[in-house]
Amino acid sequence: MPSAEIITIGTELLLGETADTNTRFIARMLRGLGIDLFRVTTIGDNTERIAQAIREAMMRAEIVITTGGLGPTVDDPTRQAVAQAVGVELEYRPELWEQIAARVTRYGRTPTENQKRQAYIPEGAIAIENPVGIAPAFIAENGHNAIISLPGVPREMETLLTQAVIPYLQKRYNLHEIIKIRTLHTGGVEEAWIDEQIGDLEALTNPTVGLSAHSGIIDIRITAKAGGEAEADRMLGEIEADIRARLRRVIYGADDDTLEAVTLRALAERGWTLTCLESGLDGALTERLARVKNPAFLGGSGRKFPPEALEQALEEVRREAQSSVALGITLSVTEEQQAVTILLVTPQGKDERHLTYGGHPRNAPRWATNMGLDALRRRALGISD
């Protein structure tokens, strides 16, 4: 099975002026083909450095995908860099110039002489016509390597990758394997605790199991490589069933499930309605709940008040909203600590919790919100701590 590397090109990326959204899209497409992606590199608009990065990548991976640097200006060096990396000259392709000129004319403009640079590609390379932009792409083959150069404009890159590059890779490398991922979401526990419960599974080689922490939420990523979708699904299902058996009460969803959506769904199934009150969270709790568009959520409010005033204030908003459930969260930040108070009021009574957050202050509102929502989720589902 071939491996790949991605090289994103553009000084604007290094300066932080432009966000790289291309890598994520390419990585997901490669994953679907069963191609291992081991490295991503970002290089500024310098021909020598790009060429060197390509040479080094070719020594490690069969497939090298570049994005960016295919424009008509002198600081678009990808074509020359690829040619240098594979030891050939650039050659002019009249058919590419015809395509470029026709597209520019269609935009109501006159083709300029400098745009002819885009009709030059490395000698012997496979040209890829760009039906949604001006810059052609190309594939330079060098022994067992394929250097695939795509535009940096995301929509153009995505179109050429899916329509031309993926079929090329499937044919050249006889790709039949696929990689599928299932992500389980857990709440209310620490990463170290999860690791203690499933550490033996994290040592597996296929499927693989990995953890990722997100301010009160721990994701468990299961990745299976198989010869077909059915086999991959079976492999994922076996590991998922094992993990769920070990971590029943802390798993709240999978893949695209969100904690707020799962929590509101659990409330709605019990016929409960919710209002919330927050202090020190910058509106994070109300905003996330409102985004779900579940009628079980009757609204929320935020204002500054001390933790000791939470119970009375929460009871007032619950009566005003005529909700059966109320969730209140306060976050108090001092030099000594970041203190969180969570108060649940449900038909089953009240539940108050006092927690301390030790992470970065900017992450505290999200952590507090996640802890509060998970506590409410468990109460709605009748799960004891």
Do 157 and 219 lie in one domain? The reply is no
7 with 115, same domain? yes
Quick check: 24 and 6 in contact, CB under 8 A? no
Q: How many Cα atoms within 13 Å fall on the side-chain side of residue 3?
A: 10
Helix (H) or strand (E) holding 239: helix 229-246
Beta-bridge partners for 8? 42, 67
Q: Helix and strand tally (H, E) in the chain?
A: 13, 17
Are both 161 and 307 inside the same structural domain? Answer: no
Does 50 share its domain with 132? yes
How far apart are the C-alpha atoms of 179 and 252, rounded to whole Å? Answer: 24
Residue 33 shares a structural domain with residue 158? yes
For position 245, which CATH number holds?
3.30.70.2860
CATH number at residue 269: 3.90.950.20
Q: What is the CATH number of the domain that holds 9?
A: 3.40.980.10
- Is 329 within 8 Å of 302 (Cβ atoms)? no
Rounded-to-integer distance, Cα 130 and Cα 244, Å: 47
Same domain, 26 and 70: yes
pLDDT value of residue 161: 94
User: 185 and 163, same structural domain?
Assistant: no
**Spatial contact of 214 and 207, defined as CB atoms under 8 Å apart:** no
Q: Are residues 302 and 249 in the same domain?
A: no
Sequential pLDDT tens for the chain (385 residues): 799 999 999 999 999 999 899 999 999 899 888 899 999 999 999 999 999 999 999 999 999 999 999 988 877 899 999 999 999 999 999 999 998 888 888 777 888 888 889 999 999 999 999 988 888 999 999 999 999 999 999 999 999 999 999 999 999 998 888 888 999 999 989 999 999 999 999 999 899 999 988 888 999 999 998 888 899 999 999 999 999 999 988 999 999 999 999 999 999 999 999 999 999 998 999 999 999 999 999 999 988 888 888 999 999 999 999 999 999 999 998 777 899 999 999 998 899 999 999 888 888 999 999 999 999 999 999 887 6
> Which domain-ending residue is among 192, 221, 254?
254
Cβ neighbors of 222 (< 8 A, separation 6 or more) are: 181, 182, 183, 184, 207, 208, 209, 236, 239, 240, 243
Cα(357)–Cα(367) distance, rounded to whole angstroms? 8
Closest CA to 86 of 9, 148, 37: 148
Domain count across the chain: 3
CA distance 13 to 137: 20
Same domain, 154 and 193: no
Could you list the residue range(s) of the whole structural domain that residue 186 is in? 178-254
Q: 107-129: string of b/e by CB count within 10 Å (b at 16+)?
A: eeeebeeebebbbbbbeebeebe
Q: Which two tokens stand for residue 310?
A: 């939470």
Alpha-carbon distance of 369 to 74, in angstroms, equals 50
Q: Are residues 41 and 79 in the same domain?
A: yes
Cβ neighbours of residue 284 closer than 8 Å, sequence gap 6 or more: 278, 365, 366, 369
Domain match, 210 and 158 both: no
pLDDT of residue 385: 64
Predicted TM-score (pTM) above 0.85: no
Read off φ and ψ for residue 316, nearest 5 degrees. Answer: -65, -45
